[in-house]
A = this chain, B = another copy of it.
Amino acid sequence: MTSVELPTHPDASAARTAGIMKALVYHGPGQRALETRPTPTIRESGDAIVRITTSTICGTDLHILKGDVPSVAAGRILGHEGVGVIEAIGAGVSSFHPGDRVLISCITACGICEFCRKGMRSHCRTGGWILGNIIDGTQAEYVRIPHADTSLYPVARDLDSEAVVLLSDILPTAYECGVLNGEITPGDTVAIVGAGPIGLAALLTAHLYSPSAILLIDVDAHRLSIAERFGATSVVNSAKEDAVARVLASTAGAGVDVAIEAVGTPAAFDTCQSIVAAGGRIANIGVHGRPVQLNLDKLWDRNITLTTRLVDTVTTPLLLKLVAAGKLRPAGLVTHRFGLDDIMQAYDTFADAARTSALKVILNGRAAD
C-alpha cells in the first residue's frame, strides 16, 4: 500500500510542516539522546499520526537502556505511553478524526487476528508491544500509531491528562495481570510484593473489588508510606523483617488468598509462593530475566493457581470510565513533571528513584491537548 495524502489539521505546528521534531533516541546500552528527527508520516491505511501532549517514562525504558531488551535497535525513539491529539489518519481509519484527543495504548492491536479476537491483544500477530520497541515510540513530538482504530482510545476533554496517561500501560498492567488474574474478590486477603509504580497501581485497582486486607511488601520505607496513604491495610519492610513470617502470622498461618508479584525477581517470586494460601492465586506482573524455582513439592497438593500475562489493554475503556466516574484516581502516582526538552533530566530523576522518590514522571509536550 502506498502512503496517502494527509489531511492537514489546523493545530499542526511549524515543526510539523517542516517535517522535523524532537525525540528521545536510544543508541545502545547506556546511551540516549534528545535529537531532531523527521516527523512520522502515514505508511499503512490503518495508521494515525498523533501529536503527543503528555507522555511518561516506564520502568521498561530503563530496562532497554540497560541493554536487557534485545529487540530494541539503536536509533529507536523510546516510549510507549502517551496522550495526544490526532494529527492525520490513513484511509482505513474509521473511528478517529484529526483533532480528536486520544490515549495511546502501549499495546498495538489489529483487532483481526485470532489473538485479538480472544482478547489476547498482547500477542497480536502484527502488533503487541511494538511502540518504542520495534517501531518508534511516544517520547517525541509526534508518533505513528498502526492499527489506530483498535490501538487508540477517545479521551473526554475534561479528563486530567496526568491521570489518563497512566492508562497507557501501568494501570491496565496492574489491573489485568495483578487484580483480574489474581481474581481478587470482596473479602480476600491480598499481598503485593513490590511497592513501586506497578505495585502501587495494583493496590489502587485492587480496591475496586473490596478485599478485606491488602499488605504491601517492599524494602523502601518511603514507598511503603505511600502505600499506606493509598489504603494498604498493612505494610512490611522486608529489609527489616522476615516478610514471609510476618504475612503468615497476620493470617493465622493460612497465607493470603492472592499474592501479586510486582518486582520480577526470584526472591519476590519466592515470597509469593511462600505466602499463598491453599486455594490461592499467585499473579505475576514482574518482568523476569531469569528462571525461578517453583516448589512443586510443597505446592502440588495446595490447589494453587499461578498466572503470567503481558497486558492486553482490554480494560482500557473500563479504566477510562472509572477515572471519569471518580472511582479510580491514579494521578497520585505522579511525583515529577518535565517538559519534553528536559527529558534527559527526567530520565535521570526516574532512574534514581531511591534518592528522588520518583514514582511516575510526567513529560509535557509543548502545547496542551
Query: From A147, which residue of chain B is reached at the shortest CB distance?
Result: B94
Stretch touching chain B among A131-139, A293-301, A351-359? A293-301
B278, A300: Cβ atoms closer than 8 Å: no
**Residues on the B chain within 8 Å of A317, using CB:** 114, 117
CA distance A263 to B288 in the complex (A): 27
User: A312 contacts which chain B residues (CB < 8 A)?
Assistant: 303
The answer to whether A94 and B46 touch (CB under 8 A), given A210-B322, A212-B321, A305-B306, is yes
Q: Are B209 and A186 in contact (CB under 8 A)?
A: yes
- On chain B, the residues within 8 Å of A186 by CB distance are 208-209, 318, 322, 327
Q: Are A327 and B45 in contact (CB under 8 A)?
A: no
* A 282-300 contacts with B by CB, 8 A: 284, 286-297, 299-300
Q: Does the CB pair B212–A209 fall under 8 Å?
A: no
A interface secondary structure, majority: loop
Q: Which of B120, B149, B296, B327 contacts A212, CB < 8 Å?
A: B327
When the two chains form their complex, are residues B91 and A112 in contact, meaning their CB atoms are under 8 A apart? no
Q: 6 more A-B contacts (CB under 8 A) besides A122-B303, A301-B309, A301-B310?
A: A45-B91, A212-B321, A212-B325, A288-B297, A293-B294, A305-B305
* This chain: copies in complex: 4
Q: Which residues of B contact A226 (CB under 8 A)?
A: none
The reply on A38 being an interface residue by CB < 8 A is no
Is residue A19 within 8 Å, beta carbon to beta carbon, of the partner chain? no
- Is A118 part of the binding interface, using a Cβ–Cβ cutoff of 8 Å? yes
Q: A91-B92, A269-B296 are in contact. Are A210 and B212 (CB under 8 A)?
A: no
Which residues of B have CB within 8 Å of A288?
Answer: 296-297, 300
Q: How far is the CA of A134 from the CA of B307 in the complex (A)?
A: 34
Q: Which of A292, A307, A324 is the most central at the interface, judged by chain B CB atoms within 10 Å of its CB?
A: A292
Interfacial chain B residues near A123, Cβ < 8 Å = 278-279, 303
Question: Is A194 at the interface (CB under 8 A from chain B)?
Answer: no
Residues A294 and B297 in contact in the complex (CB < 8 Å), given A45-B92, A150-B112, A304-B307 = no
Q: Could you say which of B116, B297, B306, B314 contacts A291, with CB atoms under 8 Å apart?
A: B297
Q: What are 5 A-B pairs with beta-carbon distances under 8 A? A: A186-B208, A210-B322, A212-B325, A264-B300, A302-B310
Size of chain A's interface in residues, with CB distance under 8 A? 68
Complex CA–CA separation, A300 to B308 (angstroms): 5
Across the two chains, which residue of chain B brings its CB closest to A207? B210
Any B CB within 8 A of the CB of A230 = no
With CB as the reference atom, state the residue of chain B lying closest to A278.
Answer: B123
A251 interface residue, CB < 8 Å from B?
Answer: no
Q: Which residues of B have CB within 8 Å of A324?
A: 212
CB distance from A116 to the nearest CB of B (A): 8
Q: How far is the CA of A288 from the CA of B284 in the complex (A)?
A: 22
- List, in ascending order, chain B residues with CB within 8 A of A45's CB: 45, 91-92
